[in-house]
Amino acid sequence: MIFRVLLYLFLFLPFLETKGQVVYTDHVASELVSENNSIVPGESFWIALRMEMDEGWYIYWKNPGDSGMPVLIEWDKPYELQISDIHWQYPKWIDVQGLTSYGHYGEVFLLMEAKLDEATEVSDELTINAVADWLVCEDVCIPGYGSYSLTLPISDQAEFSEWKSDFDHTRTLWPHEEHEISAQAWTEGNRYVMKLDGPSAVLERWEELKFFADTEATTENGGPQQLMRDGDDLFFLIEKSSYATSDIETLSGVLYSPQGFDSDGEVVAITVSVPIDDEPMFFADSSAGTSLAMALVFALIGGLILNLMPCVFPVLSIKIMHFVHLGGGNKDVIRMHGVLFALGILVSFLILAAVLIGLRSAGQELGWGFQLQSPVFIGILAFLMFGLALNLLGVFEIGNSIINIAGKASVGEGYRSAFLMGVLATILATPCTAPFMGAALGFALTLPAAQALLIFGFLGFGMAIPYVLLSFFPKMISYLPKPGAWMETLKQAMAFPLFATVLWLAWVFGAQTGFDGLFALLTGLLLASLGAWILHRWQPYTISNKARIISRSIAGLLLAGGLFVALSSANTDATTAQSGSGTDNYGIEWISFTPDIVDELRSDGRHVFIDFTAAWCITCKANERVVFSSSEVRERFRDLDVAMVKADWTNRNPDITRALSEFNRSGVPLYLLYNADGSAPQVLPELLTPGIVMNALSNLENRPAAHLNNDF
């Protein structure tokens, strides 16, 4: 019997109601304490749940982050007593096994304000009973429970207890509600932007800033939080939570900076509660303009430069040759061709933009050129380019086709051809990100839909301007060569840039699907070419109707079979990019991109260069050949011990899409150079030269690598 009583006390004594006793549970010692030894009716006093965790163990803040739960307290008290919610001190940022939590280590006092009704008799005692639940974690998490009782005499004069200094210290850890920092906030795509104002001496010294949202599912707990400066303006970018079910009206939480929010740098945490504005208040980064007007100018210039990109040349050269053919014709017809060609470009840009904006608003992590991340789309485009090239060579004729430049088409059908040629030119333009275009596109995808579509419209208009001018000013056409027999030779010569495009598309397809996928695509093109040869060999005017039906049926089956063989190897659900790791043809050892790779490498004291690229990005490949073929550049990277990171966006990769959006970009290329000292990265231009890269690297030479302090 005695043994059973002792066993009962051993197992359950920690959970019994106690008076002035510490409750011991797994890795936590806790008790209910008061700042006062006695209390006065009608006057406020403070009580606290004191919790002391073992070394390395922590409890959760009111917003626990990716996992966990905060401390919960239930009271059993007289009705004359009022007790507030917990006054939380600012939390720590805790990363464990890929999850980000907000919590507290060591000894923590969870303070609550209490007040006893002033009509209470002075001679009485006050007994407060409570139970608390929590979760304490290290590598594993353990639920905890405690039952408490606290008795305080009621007096006409308050007396402080031995805990007074601990209560005072805890108040210094509360985020300050009164401060000189003001903020405005709005949303841009999948992030919040907070514009911060305050004393310049305070803003200038900030190097680190963290935001802890008051409530769950507001911000992405472990997501990037980026501090950006534009002259005297300071912006703080915070990623939205992927679990948010609706838009919020107010961004509320705690801002933390070890550099402080006051002139002495002693106030390291403040509370903020900022209404979310409906319209964005545009800001600049190192690659984009500060206003919608500047973005429109960049889009217009980027569209013009697109005409010089090699991915657009095959189709546009055919269209120019068509203008040559029409040079002596009806001016109204020429102008209509120019207008419809431009209209095809504009409509295509707007449709692509609408699809992209719609998918992003639905939560898809997509960027410019997203359709080229689909092997199915790449395969179909390769078949289309291959068929156009065979048509130009005369292997088969479809009479009034999209590229019929021989003048055989009627006026109405020629108009359709002009419009479709504009559509095709736009499709081929998406792999290219011309200078100025990348910043404009990234900016567009952070704006409301109407303004974003306007920017895409200016991009298409910029691309179409030369052809509109050529069609509306006959004097310009008069300088072009006159039609003649030479045109047939030129027509056939134009097939070879299209074949080059097919080779490039096949290479991209192989990068996405592997060697077997590439072989399947080539087999499909072989079957399609056999079908085209049958169309050419058995012309309809040389054979009977029955033979014509049979030959065209066989040709159609060969084309369909070729497409089936090619696309059967395409993984339509490909959502991960190429690994990006390994040694390239220039002897550079690349590290595959991950969201945490920069912090990991800089914590080891290394500078970091990130190449955001894709197999289908012509500009990216040109930059790689120009820059990395330079032995001087490679040696400088080695001398400075720069970690080379490749973010391969050939296939869909939401992590890379989010990283691009942090720098207001929606597509590749993007080049970032991080100094190991923790400063903001250098954003390099979209068109690189060895001189540009060497100049950027020279900025690292006078700033030696340093390990970062990741204690917070």
Q: Superfamily for 2-165?
A: Thiol:disulfide interchange protein DsbD, N-terminal domain (2.60.40.1250)
Q: Please determine, looking at this structure, whether the domain spanning 582-701 carries the CATH number 3.40.50.1000.
A: no
DSSP 14: G
**pTM assigned to the model:** 0.46
- In one-letter notation, the amino acid at residue 616 is W
| Number of alpha carbons in the 13 Å side-chain half-sphere of residue 444 | 32
- Rounded Cα distance, 176 and 113, in Å: 17
Q: Quick one: pLDDT at residue 312?
A: 58
Q: What share of the chain is helix, strand, coil (3-state, %, to 5)?
A: 40, 25, 35
Contact of 110 with 88, CB cutoff 8 Å: yes
**Angle formed by the axes of helices 375-392 and 545-567, to 10°?**
140
**CA–CA separation, 61 and 202 (whole Å):** 27
The rounded distance, in Å, linking the Cα atoms of 116 and 385 is: 83
> What is the model's pLDDT at position 318?
60
Q: Which residues contact 277 (CB under 8 A, 6 or more apart)?
A: 184, 185, 186
CB 268 within 8 A of CB 212: no
Contacts for 56 with CB less than 8 Å, ≥ 6 apart: 105, 138
Per domain, the residue ranges of the chain are 2-165, 182-277, 292-374+399-494, 582-701
Query: What's 182-277's CATH class?
Result: mainly beta
Token digits for 111? 């303070």
Q: What is the pLDDT of residue 391?
A: 72
Element (H, E) at 76: strand 72-76
Residues ≥6 apart with Cβ < 8 Å to 241: 216, 217, 218, 219, 220, 221
**DSSP H helices in 473-544:** 474-478, 486-493, 495-513, 515-537
- Is residue 415 within 8 Å of 428, Cβ to Cβ? no
**For helices 331-361 and 411-429, what crossing angle results, to 10°?**
40
**Residue in this structure with the two tokens 């009962």, named with its chain if needed:** 8
Closest CA to 283 of 180, 353, 184, 365: 184
- Assess whether the region 2-165 and the region 182-277 belong to the same CATH fold: yes
Specify the pairing of strand 233-239 against strand 191-197: antiparallel
Are residues 68 and 92 in contact, defined by beta-carbon separation less than 8 angstroms? Answer: no
Decide if 233 contacts 195 (C-beta within 8 A).
Answer: yes
209, β-bridge pairs: none
3-state SS, 114-154, equals EEECCCCCCCCEEEEEEEEEEEEECCCEEEEEEEEEEEEEE
Edge-to-edge order in the sheet of strand 582-583: 582-583, 589-592, 642-648, 607-613, 670-674, 682-684
**Tokens for 376?**
């199915």
Residue 420: exposed, middle, or buried by beta-carbon count in 10 A (0-12, 13-18, 19+)? middle
Mean pLDDT by 10 residues, the chain (712 residues): 42 40 94 94 95 95 91 91 95 86 96 91 86 92 93 90 95 93 85 88 88 92 82 83 80 94 91 81 42 71 69 58 59 77 83 67 48 69 76 61 36 63 68 52 58 78 79 64 59 72 78 77 84 74 71 81 75 45 80 86 89 78 83 89 88 78 75 86 84 86 40 36
